[in-house]
Structure 1
Amino acid sequence: MLKGQMLSTVLLVSLSMLVFACEDSSSTKDTVDSDSSSNISAASSNDSTLLDQMIEKRQDFELVILSDGRLLSIGGRGVATDTYMSALGTTEVYDPVTDEWTQSGTMDNWRSVPSAVELKDGKVLVTGGGASKRNATSLTEIWDPSTGEWTIVADMNQPREKFGLIRLEDGRTIAIGGSDDEGQHTATVEIYDPAADIWTLIDPMGDKRIWHTSTVLNDGRILVTGGGNPDGPFKKSAEIFDPSTEKWQYAGEMSVSRSQHTATLMADG
């Protein structure tokens, strides 16, 4: 990479790896500052190219790949102050064809570490994350790509951050685990129906989890693995959610306890 980066967001798009900075590792402040730089690396080489910078410096933000190939950057935390980095309500869109970031609408509620997913109609749902005083929030909004504006929709049943958010094959969205507004880990799970604008609590997982992975399998089920605080303890356990029954089933253990890890569905399933 052309610039030192910490806690970066990485996406693989058309066999090129996009790296979006979150923290500037060259900072000498007690609180590491946010960064706005982006790099692209070809999968077949070691070369990196510096892309257009985001309009605002941000870390702990969400990045969604839109169905038209553009990227939506949502919220996060910005420039450091003497006490903390202020959360952001702003959003911006990156067009890889023009290599340009464009300011989009501002959320009604600023948030860091939110979770977001593109819905079947191309709109983007964002929910949860850290809000005022860094406490988790249940607030939910939907972004319309045709206008760039955000609309407030139904709140989740409980505040969450550091949780999984997956769109199901039937168009609904499932929120999995996370931590609440008191920092307590939760095993609770709820599903959002965009047609009815309602969140419904369903059967919880067997384990409480934060910073876990949530992976959609080829048959539509969801595999959840690991999780735990950054300083431990981590989890080895895995569970599978079946949307047809809305039930969880224990799926064994990984060989190593993990948190803030990644999981990738392989070609053979």
Structure 2
Amino acid sequence: MSKLGLIAGNGRFPFLLLDAARAHGVEVVVAAIKEETEPEIEDRARADSGIRVHWLSLGELSRLIDTFHKEGVSRAVMAGQVKHKQIFSSIRPDWRLAKLLLSLRTKNTDMLLGAVAKVLGDEGIELVSSTSYLEPLLAPAGVLTKRAPNETEQRDIDYGRTVALAIAGYDIGQTVVIASQACVAIEAMEGTDAAIERAGALMQTLRDASSGDAASTPQETTLERSLTVIKVAKPKQDMRFDVPVIGIRTLETMRRAGATCLALEAERTLLFDREELVHLADEAGIAIVAVS
């Protein structure tokens, strides 16, 4: 079996994929991104002779290709987040990436990563799905928690999915936060958790502003309503990159923000630490549902 190249971003995703690939007996060559990858990846390599780690900067596309060629890698996978603002601000492209960037009609992540995938393919390196070896972590359809969404939350889900699919189609973001069928926040470059935090802060600001108004009637406004978070896959989601992921950190962010419901895309969203995630959601009274 040929070696697998792992282009590792931040978070736990690269580690989960690395462990799953090694459990299948696959040798893994990790291209660790200096600006993103957790340094603990080195510990895994020291403990397992079947893992080799090479550190590269985000813009070093030629070095990435040369590294995979020297290591005999013909299949590669992207796993882990690379912050959108990193891609378009901190990046210092080498000649190959600079040429690629100049050729793009639009500078969104889909277009960029798709172009990188084509360059890799032209060099004999097939980019495969980022869910490779991790299919059991994909969310099954249905209610995952003890509590199902209530009537208000279900209306927010129905409305929010329409909005989320629209913005995802333009590669703006994949998450919206809704209260009483009104958009409180839309994810852009800041990422899912930051969008949820922004929604929570905004709602708290509105509550604080209204608390001194004796004439207001909070129960007749949206100010005391809870937040529903909707995360979708893109209408033409390329499973090789940017697959929706939900983990413990997002759930904790929701709890702090006052969100009570999470709707995600069934079979196209990875759930990390599912048992603990669902347990914590049940404790917090948060409903989680995967929608087909």
**TM-score for both structures, normalised by structure 1:** 0.30
Which structure has more RCO (C-alpha within 8 Å, separation ≥ 6)? Answer: 2
Q: What TM-score do you get using the length of structure 2 for normalisation?
A: 0.29
Q: Which has the higher strand share?
A: 1
Larger Rg: 2
